[in-house]
Amino acid sequence: MPKAMTTMLRAQMLEEIQQLRLQIVQYIQQEHQPEFGNLSLKLAQSPLSHWPELLQQWLTPELKNKAMRLEALLAAISLMDMGLYGLCCDCEQRIERELLLRDPARQRCQHCSAKIYA
């Protein structure tokens, strides 16, 4: 994969991570339950990589999708850091460029995705 494309996709994912972070914090602050106050404090004291785990017990429908997406984005960034970005997690073949442009956090090629959802 060309370095320029990887750099662009990384920037795109980092921007989305920041947006998700803000949305999660805003959602928690809007809730008036004392439990969410504790969660807010835990999130503030934890690295972003621990957020999906911390959110597991609080997964309201609104938080569930955000937590899952955050986890996928963080995993994709980790794969970039390891030099494995763009490889299918099942067959280890290159993920099609068009698919990564549509969703930079994608971890399966078209063939393997079709097998899962068949």
The domain segmentation of the chain, as residue ranges, is 3-85
* Per-residue pLDDT tens over the stretch 17-76: 999 999 998 888 886 667 777 888 889 999 999 999 888 877 788 888 899 999 999 999
Residues in the chain: 118
Structure tokens at 36: 């969410």
| H helix runs in 1-118, sequence order | 3-30, 34-45, 51-55, 61-82, 97-102, 110-116
Alpha-carbon gap, residue 13 to 77, rounded angstroms = 8
Residue 102 confidence (pLDDT): 96
Q: Taking the model in full, what pTM does it have?
A: 0.87
Structure token pair of residue 103: 């969703």
